[in-house]
Amino acid sequence: MYKTKSLRIVVLLLLSSCEVTDLWAPILYQHSELPDTYKPELFAFEKILKQDTVRILCAGTSLTYGMTTEGARSEYPWPRVLQDLLSQHWPNILFSIENDGIGGVQSRGLYMHLAEKNLSLYDLIFIEIGTNDAFHEISLAAYAISLDNMIKLSESPSNSIVMIAPPPALSQLSKPLIEYTRIMANVSAKYKLGFINMNRRIGNRLDEMSQPSYLYQDGLHFTTQGYHIFAENVFNWLENSYPKEQEH
């Protein structure tokens, strides 16, 4: 069973690219409390770090692309920030990160897109998906099937794929996003994948803030600070998946 924190009310000018709502209405949000999943006995990050070059694919929605309120692209989407963080921490390794975020994409569409790629070219694959499925009310069963199909595209998913749950939205979309997060956690466990509960991580940060606009531009897409915090959470997860006593 999943847990949710009590509702918190924030007032935000909501200008989502998905929907325009009552602009000054109080917005309720909830977030998941499911833990992250670390699989150090399976996850091959230690082996990956022995290479001279590490190729990483970041696949997902406009939140991975780095969409801003105006429909433009942020100068610092989270994959770019993650590349900087990894390069600073392991300066002797060349980290090559491909941002494969697609605005408006749902899980089935992302599966079809990834099916056209040669995933064996990548050492590590992050998959962030679920926000648009929730917005368009795609069934949880269909969402699970699409996740399942995506994972099967990889020859060794437990060594290479890390699933990233959709972060909370500052709108009524936040409640269904908890359900999509739960499905992703279950599918990740089925395949013994790493799982980053960004819904909980960003939600916890929101709980600590008096000004959610520091993270969100429109209640859905992030500010530069928000994308940076997203990347920091991915980096921290990777650090915790790597046996530090063996770090060089």
Chain segment 108-145, per-residue pLDDT in tens: 999 999 999 999 999 999 999 999 999 999 999 999 99
Output the six-digit token pair for 102: 């697609």
In sequence order, the 6+-apart residues with CB closer than 8 A to the CB of 63 are: 78, 101, 128, 131, 166, 167, 220, 221, 222, 230
The average pLDDT across 193-197 equals 91
């569409």: which residue's tokens?
Answer: 109
The pLDDT value recorded for residue 20 is 34
Q: Tell me the pLDDT tens digit for each residue of 20-38.
A: 333 223 345 555 666 666 5
Question: Would you say 166 and 181 are in contact if contact means Cβ atoms under 8 Å apart?
Answer: yes
Mean pLDDT of the chain: 83
Alpha carbon distance 94, 96 (integer Å):
6
pLDDT band at 248 (very low <50, low <70, confident <90, very high): very low
Kindly state the percentage of the chain with pLDDT values over 70: 79
Alpha carbon distance 195, 184 (integer Å):
8
Alpha carbon distance 122, 37 (integer Å):
21
| Prediction pTM value | 0.84
What strands lie across the sheet with 194-196, from one edge to the other? 94-101, 53-60, 124-128, 161-164, 194-196
Print the SS3 string covering the chain.
CCCECCCEEEECCCECCCCECCCCCEEEECCECCCCECCCCCCCHHHHCCCCEEEEEEEECHHHHCECCCCCECCCCHHHHHHHHHHHHCCCCEEEEEEEECCCCCHHHHHHHHCCCCHHHCCEEEEECCHHHHHCCCCHHHHHHHHHHHHHCCCCHHHHEEEECCCCCCCCCHHHHHHHHHHHHHHHHHCCCEEECHHHHHHHHHHCCCCHHHCECCCCCECHHHHHHHHHHHHHHHHHCCCHHHCC
Angle, CA of 132, 160 and 105, to the nearest 5°: 15
Class at the top of the CATH hierarchy for domain 32-243? alpha beta
Q: For the chain, what are the domain ranges?
A: 32-243
Query: Does the pLDDT at position 95 exceed 50?
Result: yes
Pairing state between β 26-29 and 8-11: antiparallel
pLDDT band at 18 (very low <50, low <70, confident <90, very high): very low
The pLDDT value recorded for residue 218 is 87
Higher-pLDDT residue of 157, 81? 81
